[in-house]
Structure 1
């Protein structure tokens, strides 16, 4: 397909939604900067033009650069001697695909077929070119600095000066008047209308010193004129109808360039920043908003509706993204956002880390913090049924907020970090904290004993009024509506892949609960079977960390440290049911507008607003996604083979022939999708060599070595960031010439000689091979036996290592679970007793807080050593059960004997006198829970009984042994 036709189809397929949204602030556009460190020859960007292929051509003071979004290819006086000056002031492409290059002081060059040639040096050698203006018929008008107005028609050059009626020979800009003439902006002569070789109208009113540096005609026939100190003036029907200056928001009144984009916004480039005019006021953007320099030299909107800004300090791209961001630039006081809530009036609130509570939308952003009596760090938000807001803080409890002020606090709460808040159907308030769970009824907070000292996270009310409680290290629990009974629902090894539960969300069909974990991926509790199924990265999930889950019915939205992940809900359910399913969803990261890929794990850190939009808290602000308007880039990326290197040397243009003996062929290709070029992917194939297409990812080069003689065709196709493919592939035919010994006659001769040699050698070889055969077989048998022996030893070592806790050196939880299963089975078969002792280091959290985690780790190792030494003489298995808890499994030991062993070990721990500043005695002590069963016993029941005994030992004062007999 013709390249021009491909580009025309691509252009027509662009949607207006891709252009910079007038309803978004400029600070919410994604801004990318390229400088000389990125490959530009110099950072003053005088001109930007997009050619018919889709390349950007960028003129700088040190040469011309071609840009495909990834790589700059520079044309300067070293590789293009026809450029009489390195100062490229303007570039234009005419309908015949000639690229015209204007220099400042070196006249004009043009490029055709990749070759740069000087144009009429005898006439234009020293001209200072300022702007090209190409007419539809191919005629080119040229503004010069002192040489008047030039017209190029074919190879004919005509010059117009003051002798022909122009008020000045210093021309800044040219614009079509829509009626076959031109508007010409001059220095000292105002703006004139030029038609048929003469001036027919002149504008000087409102132009300081009669200088006009930019001129633009809009669709309504108005003329926008950029002045030298007077901002922008608007001329219509023979009069100035308005002006735009610094009083209207312009960053500077010295205007260099003007552009009207596809959304109708007027972009104004000044000597001190960029501005967007939307009819009422100019919205400025300068260095503070991310521009590398305030001097704006050029503007371009490309075919994908990106806005390119040429500054005196680098090249800038502005584009809208799928994710709308709110950061410090929009008024947030800090980077890190913890919790987000939409109240019944539609106002969005954000709890921040250090900046208090902020009202974000509708804007502007307003915040309440210590000055208003509110804590600066907000970790949980909840709107009550009466319209007030419960606010959970980091260390200052829970407060009630209404009408802009604090109206109450929950009494009796310790200074813990509040993790989550839930108001149940009966009006009770449940508070999840970093050290326990509290139930608020009648204005009083009651701690739930089952969760004392446990780190908790999300809460979820079920239909029967009970509550699911996610813990940070103890799995998923369920507590009744009064908080009197609590039990484990799922833990590591029993449904969950991690005991750290970060998120709970009801399945949209009401048949289960989604469970987000840290390190264990996504799980789901099925109400019908009461079973838990999990998916992780190894199964195709985006990440093993899931901070929060939002179920919108059709899709699941998951947050992690690697961005926001959208995946079809039915695909996830299918994968959890064991069916083959593709989990490759959509990932939203910083290139999509997320302020940070690092989402957070507070509650709620993702909020689904009434209008369906998702608000996501991140470590650097808030991201907002509209699932119903997830704009895609529908422009197919044109793909080209740019260059071929044969053994490191560029191949000449024309039919490609690879010379005899060439070792390496390198094909460089590109795709011209400038919206997110770093995410464009490629597939290629060398017909005659590759059996299938090669997925190259984002690589833009293919390498082949030592190709056999023959004819080949290289084919490459591209896919943009939204999965839209090139409409046609790029193809390049090439022939690899044979060397003399690869010709048909050389091969025939070689075959004959080889056949004769083989016949002579074959008879000799057969005899020798027979002699060595038996020796080789014997040697192979010996080697195989040695290899099998080494493999068995290695397997045994690996098995042993997988059962050891890395910190303490005793058995880990996995080994304990297996040993418990085996011991319960053996006890059931033989009717033998089986005892279990659970040991917990008293006040271990205080030890960590007062003496540091290193001391805590040493205490754990010391406890493990004491227990292992005891077990060497008494028997049984010692394992680290989790955190500061250890387990001692005693097969064949009855309850009384186990209790005696536990009491003896308690004294051993006390006598060891391990320093502990957090206890009254100043030394480490331990609490022990003992249980035993005879005959059949379920592993979970045995653990639950020992845990109950341990809980009594801790709640009864610690440093003691408690026994929980198993029910017979």
Structure 2
């Protein structure tokens, strides 16, 4: 068997392997781009699409836009396994799992604390029958996610690799392949697997009903029916050449990672088909630690230094993965079964994946045109002519040639555009030779084309204006010229003008222009714009022989396919915004289903039949929300979309990071977003993946984002997240409740204060009133006492006066009685009449004396002054000349007595009272209109005002 095996290997070494000349798209990510460790040991993909890497510094996550590192303290991650939203990881003497926390961010939970007395590296994690198995160098840890318990089993051999095959756990060791009994975790050697001797098994791949065994130096084997069968054709290339370290398989593509030669790709259905990518052909370095095919069949490589991504079976393939050895591409042409490439270095013949410089065609090449059976190459150093029929080439040394064009009306002449005008070639003896310069055309004429009218040509002059010229019959001079003024419209001078269905069109910064022969003017080509991108800037437009339209707008190359008599509904964006040469874009159909695109790094081939892969739907997502002030993560992508994020008012300045899982997308991804409750419309398409909002008001907001095209048409799902900004504490519901309570309390306090104030005021008023009342009462009492006192004094004096008067009257009566007795006795004695008359006269005199005596007046005056506030004293001071009768009359008038009441008191008649009143008015000096009684009363009032103490006495 061994002889046959090595014989087959020897024979297969004689079979040439087909090397692909076009490369797959490769993207390299350096460790300073993803900000983690150099080495990446294992790769897995989440069901949502993002990629995870077991990195030296932790669990590394990539969603196509953002890189995030989830660290495990003091542990490098060697392996990982994803089940739903749980990510199991293993590393240096450590294993556990990450799950999203309440905001969606991954949180690590260790399981190592459930084990003891083991050490080593966890190299693989697998799942069988709802159990998770962590495989290390010499241990297998069986984890039950339901009970959160760990069962550990130790093995006597070193485990180099492992896999799940037919729902069983297989271990690769130097001694062979072992199968593990999942009940007791005991290992049993698989029969036939020990025939490799001491060869190290680098990887085990479960593939349907077979197990692929990848060895370090002997190549690949299939373990089936207890037999190891070598992969003869593959091993011819691999065996004893590359130390193999990792491997994976997707459909019929087998990827094998090496230690020193990058990645080797094989198609098992056609083992002769081989690809090898290493540091020379585009990888970061040559050591591939891990390989992984994602959901789209593209290959991820965990490198010893960085990460690489290879887009397999891509419709767009670069000629060179690294720096182009032939320089910048400008033009191309398939001629006589050979591909010719024009670059800034010269003309190259591309054959069997190798470019070869054509002798005599060095220098900048601007255009390649096939005219008749010949190939005319124009460049900075002149014109090179290739004739495949005669197998000859020759050169015309004319400096600065843009391109050569045939003339429909005269096949014996060719016109070529130069940096300073148009010149002519003439065929002489079967070859083209220089003829003459066209007079009257001294401007640069790049991109000139012939009109449908004979002798007429169009080009864009150095002022970026479209110019039409008509030449004479010999093409020697310009006989007519017209320049078309178009305001601010700008057109490029190189390959701007094209004919589409006999219609002359031009690309400009304001859209596509079309020439009208009726009006002899250019106007917007609405029909063409409607099937492309509308009215916008167009820098290049090319219609290939199949009527497909290739055009450049906003620096991106787009393709609109023409199929079955009509154009597709939507163009396909091929991107390349940083690869196309501005002003010198070029697309050439080299095959009915292949186009060559000139780019800064040479050329890119586009497979037309498969370009629809570029337009596959992409998924928009919201990566995270960060509070700017504290740089605090409050929302992470893993959280379900229905999650309503609650933020405080202090967190009202946020940054929303969003993106799209579109690693294989070729175009510049554009986004449109809006914030409901703040934005009325979706924003214009932008490529930025971050939006900041400052000082948001309280309320509920929903942030929405989608991938869109330049017109704002949605190309993806709408990702959204809802969040609520709480009001500031002073505007919260509790604050308003507090305000209400405080207001009620304030009203209550104010009410109490007002009530208390009123009460106090009432009390004070009451006290004041009581005090005033008390003072008044005291005053009244004092006045009453004083009045009583006065009355008592008056009455006492009056009583004394009355008593004196009574005594005086009694004495007088006694005297009158004595005189009457004497008179009676005299009458009885019949005394003499004269004596009787004397007694009678004496009696009358005595009575008169008592009736008008001064003593009675003095008593009356004293008592009246006591009662009426010193009336007589004041009257004497004011009018000292009054008589006693005048004073008595004044007293009666002061008491407001009338004449009838005064007359008997004064023992005079009423007439006498009136006469006395009249005399008194004269003595007092009163006028006729003055009232005598009011005057007398005013004396007392005036005295009281001038002498207030008088009343108090």
TM-score range, shorter chain: 0.5 to 0.7
In structure 1, what is the equivalent of residue 542 of structure 2?
Answer: 549
For 1:175 and 1:98, locate their aligned partners in 2 and report how far apart those are by CA, in whole Å: 20
In structure 2, what is the equivalent of residue 358 of structure 1?
Answer: 349
In structure 2, what is the equivalent of residue 611 of structure 1?
Answer: 592
Q: 1:402 Cα deviation (Å)?
A: 1.7
From 240, 253, 265, give the equivalent of 2:253.
265
Does the 8 Å contact 2:484/2:521 carry over to 1? no
In structure 1, what is the equivalent of residue 109 of structure 2?
Answer: 117
What are the within-5 Å matches in structure 2 for residues 614-629 of structure 1?
A: 614-629=595-610
For 2:486 and 2:731, locate their aligned partners in 1 and report how far apart those are by CA, in whole Å: 68
Does the 8 Å contact 2:323/2:601 carry over to 1? no
Does the 8 Å contact 2:413/2:426 carry over to 1? yes
Does the 8 Å contact 1:688/1:712 carry over to 2? yes
For 1:226 and 1:641, locate their aligned partners in 2 and report how far apart those are by CA, in whole Å: 39
In structure 1, what is the equivalent of residue 244 of structure 2?
Answer: 255
The TM-score normalised by the length of structure 1 is 0.62
Sort the Cα spacing of 1:441 and 1:326 in 2 relative to 1 into closer, same or farther, 3 A. same
Q: How many residues align?
A: 688
In structure 2, what is the equivalent of residue 450 of structure 1?
Answer: 439
From 228, 233, 242, give the equivalent of 2:221.
233
From 185, 189, 199, give the equivalent of 2:172.
185
From 722, 732, 746, give the equivalent of 2:722.
732
Q: Aligned to 2:280, what secondary structure does the other structure show?
A: helix
Moved more, 242-251 or 388-397: 242-251
Sort the Cα spacing of 1:667 and 1:416 in 2 relative to 1 into closer, same or farther, 3 A. closer
Does the 8 Å contact 2:25/2:311 carry over to 1? yes
Q: Deviations over 1:553-602 (max 9, x none)?
A: 87642358934345799xxxxxxxxxxxxx996553337xx8x2215639
From 605, 616, 620, give the equivalent of 1:634.
616
Q: Deviations over 1:27-72 (max 9, x none)?
A: 6222222223213321101122212333322221222222222222
For 1:36 and 1:331, locate their aligned partners in 2 and report how far apart those are by CA, in whole Å: 21
Q: Aligned to 2:416, what secondary structure does the other structure show?
A: strand
Q: 1:267 Cα deviation (Å)?
A: 0.7
For 2:319 and 2:220, locate their aligned partners in 1 and report how far apart those are by CA, in whole Å: 31
Sort the Cα spacing of 1:610 and 1:271 in 2 relative to 1 into closer, same or farther, 3 A. closer
Sort the Cα spacing of 1:151 and 1:383 in 2 relative to 1 into closer, same or farther, 3 A. same
Q: Aligned to 2:198, what secondary structure does the other structure show?
A: helix
In structure 2, what is the equivalent of residue 579 of structure 1?
Answer: none
In structure 1, what is the equivalent of residue 387 of structure 2?
Answer: 401
Q: 1:448 Cα deviation (Å)?
A: 4.3
Please tell me the root mean square deviation across aligned C-alpha atoms, in Å: 4.4
Q: Aligned to 1:135, what secondary structure does the other structure show?
A: strand
In structure 2, what is the equivalent of residue 390 of structure 1?
Answer: 376
Does the 8 Å contact 1:658/1:736 carry over to 2? yes
Q: 1:523 Cα deviation (Å)?
A: 3.9
Q: Aligned to 1:93, what secondary structure does the other structure show?
A: strand
Does the 8 Å contact 1:145/1:171 carry over to 2? yes
For 1:671 and 1:397, locate their aligned partners in 2 and report how far apart those are by CA, in whole Å: 48
Q: Deviations over 1:250-286 (max 9, x none)?
A: 8952222111125x21111111211111222542111
Q: 1:479 Cα deviation (Å)?
A: 3.1
From 474, 477, 482, give the equivalent of 2:469.
477
For 1:471 and 1:481, locate their aligned partners in 2 and report how far apart those are by CA, in whole Å: 23
Q: Aligned to 2:35, what secondary structure does the other structure show?
A: coil
Structure 2 residue ranges without an equivalent (≥5) = 1-16, 563-568, 745-953
- 1:507 is the counterpart of 2:499: yes
Q: 1:184 Cα deviation (Å)?
A: 1.8
Q: 1:99 Cα deviation (Å)?
A: 1.3
Larger Rg: 2
In structure 2, what is the equivalent of residue 158 of structure 1?
Answer: 151
Q: 1:316 Cα deviation (Å)?
A: 1.5
For 2:510 and 2:473, locate their aligned partners in 1 and report how far apart those are by CA, in whole Å: 28
Does the 8 Å contact 2:614/2:665 carry over to 1? no
For 1:749 and 1:567, locate their aligned partners in 2 and report how far apart those are by CA, in whole Å: 70
Sort the Cα spacing of 1:449 and 1:651 in 2 relative to 1 into closer, same or farther, 3 A. closer
For 2:243 and 2:256, locate their aligned partners in 1 and report how far apart those are by CA, in whole Å: 10
Q: Aligned to 1:309, what secondary structure does the other structure show?
A: strand
Sort the Cα spacing of 1:454 and 1:347 in 2 relative to 1 into closer, same or farther, 3 A. same
What are the within-5 Å matches in structure 2 for residues 428-827 of structure 1?
A: 428-434=412-418, 435=420, 436-443=422-429, 444-451=433-440, 453-470=442-459, 472-473=461-462, 475-479=467-471, 482-484=474-476, 486-487=478-479, 490-491=482-483, 493=485, 497=489, 501-503=493-495, 506-510=498-502, 512-516=503-507, 522-533=512-523, 543=537, 545-546=539-540, 549-550=542-543, 556-559=549-552, 562-566=555-559, 587-590=573-576, 596-598=579-581, 601=584, 605-609=586-590, 611=592, 613-630=594-611, 631-637=613-619, 639-640=621-622, 642-645=624-627, 647-648=629-630, 649-651=632-634, 656-676=645-665, 679-694=668-683, 697-718=686-707, 725-727=715-717, 729-734=719-724, 736-741=726-731, 744=736
In structure 1, what is the equivalent of residue 90 of structure 2?
Answer: 102
- 1:293 is the counterpart of 2:282: no
Q: Aligned to 2:115, what secondary structure does the other structure show?
A: helix
- 1:58 is the counterpart of 2:53: yes
For 1:684 and 1:563, locate their aligned partners in 2 and report how far apart those are by CA, in whole Å: 22
Does the 8 Å contact 2:52/2:60 carry over to 1? yes
